[in-house]
A = this chain, B = another copy of it.
Amino acid sequence: MTARGDGATQRRRLLERVFELSARLADDMAGELDAQGLTRARAELLWRLHASGPVTQRALSEVLECTPRNVTGLVDALESAGLARREPHPTDRRASLVTLTDEGQATLTRWRDGYDDLAERLFAATPAADLQGFETTLERMLDRLRESAEMKPAP
């Protein structure tokens, strides 16, 4: 008979729930993207592009933490899909500026609305005070993870 409510047991169960949450959110998102004919990697690029405005592929490769070669393929796909395009860099003829098309912009607007819908769906039934506590615990978790990420930054 081990004691129920044991701290380690609670923590283990909690972490399991957190992983389930991650998995379900990822599934949810993958489903949405699939319905739009997009993949996660391409969506991530669009998202970053929206956040930054027009940028070089070099900059994208740094933000996405992948190789320039990888960016080439993603931009090719997004260009074919009509969501982004390459424009000449005004001063550096080696580089090009990746830009959202109007359709790309529209896609991002839809995502923002979907994001808010999801936030409401997940949290609307929870009192604001509880959400405050939730955020505090969440931030503690993030602090621990940020700490360990700082310890091993350069691969």
Contacts and interface: CB of A to CB of B under 8 A. Distances in A.
B22 A116 contact: no
Interface in A96-155: 115-116, 118-126, 128, 130-142, 144-146, 148-149, 152
B145 A24 contact: yes
A82 interface: no
Contacts of A146: 24
Interface residues of A, number: 51
Tell me the number of copies of this protein. Answer: 2
Given A28-B145, A128-B10, A130-B133, A17 B119 contact: no
Nearest to A146: B24
B18 A120 contact: no
Interface of A: 7-8, 10-15, 17-22, 24-28, 31, 115-116, 118-126, 128, 130-142, 144-146, 148-149, 152
Given A11-B119, A17-B142, 15 more contacts: A14-B134, A17-B139, A18-B25, A21-B22, A22-B25, A28-B148, A28-B149, A31-B152, A121-B148, A122-B144, A123-B141, A131-B137, A133-B134, A133-B137, A134-B137
